[in-house]
Structure 1
Amino acid sequence: MGVDLKNLRRVAVASAAVTTVLQSATAVIALKKDRRDYADGVWGPGLAAIAITSAALGSGNRLRRWSLAAAVTAWSVRLERQMLSRLGRHDEEDPRYTEFLEGASTAGVVGKVFVTQGLSQLLVSAPVQVAAACGLPRSARRWLFPVGIAVMAGGAIIEALADQQKDRFQQRDDDDKPDVLDTGLWGWSRHPNYFGDSLVWDGAFVAAAASAPATWTIPAPALMSYLLVYATGAKRTERRMQSRPGYRDYQRRVSLFFPWPPTGD
């Protein structure tokens, strides 16, 4: 089915406004506290706010737009709990931000971090916004909607389980603790949490693509995967982990991103 362009414009404008408010408020607090890494704390809530705004203002299929909003919000709540816990445990800024923003002016920080993140949120959530302004077709294509929601749920479970396994590993304080976590999901992927996160947004695209116009939003999940692998996720973490004992061997044995059986010694 087609997209209601007038309604889509309304959803897009409102989503942009909500994103601007959240990013601006976070930027003010982050700059005042000299904690640019507070930006991590608004990533999930920002995407949830866009999904809820889209569901509330959209004129498309009611069940789908609110299912997407519920799925994104549930994912966001769990992620936000983890982010707030991580930010609260440290009195100093995440070294990744310090390194990335070294020598940057206030305007530079706002542009590199908060404007860039806001634009990324709007692009990543494009399938959710378009789906909110589309009806569901009567053809078999409509089944992409429940399939996509199932993929989102599966991705969220993988991400949550990976984070739980990582937290348990970090909390261990015994002589038998290995240098590198290479069991559970971490024995199949070096970054299973990022992989699960990518599945959430792949699923959102699939659910939206039940309506033909949303197919054009495929750059959205591609962007999310790029961010998770190259920009702010796996590759950047890999650079920081290079010097850890046993990590190079771990890299040799275990897949970077997509889960795969580990190779033998």
Structure 2
Amino acid sequence: MAPSGVALAVAAAIGLSIAVAIALPTWLVSLARRDASLADRVWSAFIAAPSAFYVVSLGGDARAWVMLSITLAWALRLGVHVTTRNWGHGEDPRYQAIRARNQPGFGLKSLWLVFLLQAALGWVVSWPQLAASGGGRSAWTAWDTLGAAIAVGGLLIETIADAQLTRFRRAPGHRDRVLDTGLWRYSRHPNYFGECCVWWGLGLMAVSAGGVAVAWCLASPVLMTVLLLKVSGITLLEQDIGQRRPAYRDYIARTSAFIPWPPKRDGTR
């Protein structure tokens, strides 16, 4: 029997509280270290912790546990990757820019501009797990198999892409070159493509569990896609990279921005 609407609302509220409870101490540490980019290190926890709570509190079925397993694997990989990548480098330049734009008093402002905002966004991204855990005990279908395959495939893609990028950045003289081999030959941001696949796959599984009544949970993959394409992802990263790395302009001309696709041989679009 599916949980009542009240039970889902209560679970959702507690899930948001869990995300906020992660954000607050991280914010305090960021004040001491003068590093608001610590938010990136706990971003995956904003999503995984509420997701785990939904399954445990609402008594999720096998589908919900499969979804949670994928989410936890995603969260562990991303958390470790971001932490090791940023370790010892101080505040990320993106956050330095945010800090400069919001002076004076950025320390206090960062509570809602960075930490509470990301906690709320992460909570929204966790909605497929809420929908699936509250969707009753419907049978596993081909849509679940497809969704799981998309999500796991996306996780593999972003894992491989990040590993290739890490190896490239460690190579001598990489600042004057462009990574255009491996998965990066077919997409300028294959890691972002893989990330979106994870959440669209989980969203598909959630809709399989609850039908059109839980279509609201698709706000999760839509939000993630918008963030990666238009907000903190491609648009932000590429706004001036062509000026800093002239070779990147040619890379843009021949390579798909997002969806992996064979590159243009003549550099035209």
* Shift in Å, 1:174: 6.5
- Structure 2 residue aligned with 1:220: 220
Identical-pair percentage: 33
- TM-score w.r.t. the length of structure 2 is 0.90
Matches within 5 A, 1:48-127: 48-60=48-60, 62-90=61-89, 92-104=90-102, 105=105, 106-127=107-128
- Could you say which residue in structure 2 is the equivalent of 1:158? 157
Which residue of structure 2 lines up, in the alignment, with residue 229 of structure 1?
229
Q: For 1:103-157, what per-residue CA distance to the aligned partner results, in whole angstroms no more than 9, with x for missing partners?
A: 423332111111110110111111111111112435xx83322221211100000
Structure 1's 209 and 32: CA in aligned 2 closer, same or farther, altered over 3 A?
same
Aligned-pair CA distance for 1:233: 1.0
RMSD: 1.9
Consecutive unaligned residues of structure 1, counting only runs of 5 or more, are none
**How far has the Cα of 1:75 moved from its partner?**
0.6
User: Is the 1:4–1:134 Cα contact (8 Å) retained in structure 2?
Assistant: no
Provide, for residues 72-126 of structure 1, a one-character-per-residue CA deviation record: whole Å limited to 9, x for no partner.
0001111111111122131x21111111231423332111111110110111111
| TM-score scaled by length of structure 1 | 0.92
Structure 1 letter corresponding to 2:235: K
Deviation (angstroms), 1:240: 4.3
| AA at the equivalent of 1:65 | A
- Aligned-partner Cα distance in 2 for 1:260–1:238: 19
Gaps of 5+ in 2: none
Superposed CA deviations along residues 227-261 of structure 1, whole A, max 9, x for unmatched, are: 11111111111124222130111010101111111
Equivalent residues, number:
260
1:250 aligns with 2:251: yes
2:265 corresponding residue in structure 1: 264
Q: CA deviation at 1:51?
A: 1.3
Q: How far did residue 9 of structure 1 move?
A: 1.9
Aligned equivalents of 1:155, 1:214: Cα separation in 2: 23
Q: Which range moved further: 198-207 or 4-13?
A: 4-13
Checking the alignment, whether the CA contact within 8 Å between 2:176 and 2:245 is kept in structure 1 is no
Amino acid at match of 2:177: D
